[in-house]
Amino acid sequence: MTSSSPAVSPAAPDRTALMAAVGCYVMWGFMPLLFMGMAGAAFTAAEILSHRALWSVLFAAGLVLLAGQSAQVRTVLAQPRNLAWLALSTALIATNWGLYVWATTHHATLEASLGYYINPLLNMIVGLWLFRERIDRWGWVAIGLAAVGVAIQALALGRPPWISLALAFSFGAYGVIRKRVAVEAQPGLLIECLMLLPFGLAYVLWLQMAGQGHGFASPSGFAWGLFSGLATVLPLALFAWSARRLPLSTIGFVQFLAPTLQFAIGVATGEAFTLLRGLSFGFIWLGAAVFALAAWYRVRAAQVAMRAAEPI
């Protein structure tokens, strides 16, 4: 930066990215209510997923047009390497969507929330491995406590928590790819949605021809389907934008918002919450608390150091 450049606070972009991350995780936290509502309107998990794929294209295209990024979409479509990476990220997010919709419509919201408690701690390990982000001893304590919680959850369920693990790994891998691929948030999201469009459209058309579709059977059904597209695109756009601007460890900290809201919804809707399952979540919450306090102390120490370095 030259001396004639305007002074910009280095914290400003991070603050904006942090606000975007908080917004997306709050939206994801309340997402089970949307899918439960659609299930109550007779949508199956597969039909919900198809309408997400169908209508998300509309809103993702709108974001690209608003941002004036149409040229970037055309550029990426001519780059086979980036398209290959986006095809992989599309497969991962579709897997994540499908599992999550199934879980929240089959009384497994608590197990789904566990997956999103695991994911932030997985992000810390991936950040260390791929991006050389440092984990202090308190971070390792948090990871260890969460690992104990996962083991106890397996005992409570009588099996490994496959839904939790699959959700954590699929979304964790998605975040890594979107952080590494040289594509901006909105153009990349639109291309992912376009890749999913043929599958969603084909299934919705098949349901309609078979007389089993609900998305076009009534105005309320249409509204459910349309809103599922908006609820899909908006938090994903915020996530993709913030993930390219924040360390994975920071993303992991903010992500505790979503599973906490999901957990509350699971309990409120009457899912089984045994003593052993409560102990499992207790260890995971303790790990989250250790991580949060350590992050707070790091920020406070950095602020003190910056004030001390300021000229008198």
Lowest-confidence pick of 31-35, 111-115, 136-140: 136-140
Nearest to 75 by CA among 243, 187, 186: 187
**Is residue 275 in a domain?**
yes
Nearest to 109 by CA among 256, 272, 285, 231: 272
pLDDT digits (tens, 9 = 90+) for 269-292: 999 888 988 898 899 889 878 877
Distance CA 177, CA 185 (A): 12
**Is residue 10 in a domain?**
no
The helix/strand/coil state of 41 is coil
**Is residue 201 in a domain?**
yes
pLDDT digits (tens, 9 = 90+) for 186-209: 898 899 999 999 999 999 999 999
**Is residue 19 in a domain?**
no
Domain enclosing residue 160, as ranges: 33-306
Distance CA 297, CA 212 (A): 55
The helix/strand/coil state of 78 is coil
- DSSP 8-state secondary structure symbol assigned to residue 132: -
Distance CA 155, CA 10 (A): 47
The helix/strand/coil state of 270 is coil
The pLDDT of residue 12 is: 44
pLDDT band (50, 70, 90) for residue 62: very high
The helix/strand/coil state of 243 is helix
Number of domains, the chain: 1
Lowest-confidence pick of 104-113, 119-128, 259-268: 119-128
Distance CA 93, CA 179 (A): 14
**Is residue 138 in a domain?**
yes
**Is residue 213 in a domain?**
yes
Residues, the chain: 312
**Is residue 5 in a domain?**
no
Q: What percent of the chain has pLDDT over 90?
A: 46
| Mean predicted confidence (pLDDT) in 52-60 | 94
Q: What percent of the chain has pLDDT over 70?
A: 90
pLDDT above 60 for 142: yes
Mean pLDDT over the full length of the chain: 85
| Mean predicted confidence (pLDDT) in 259-269 | 92
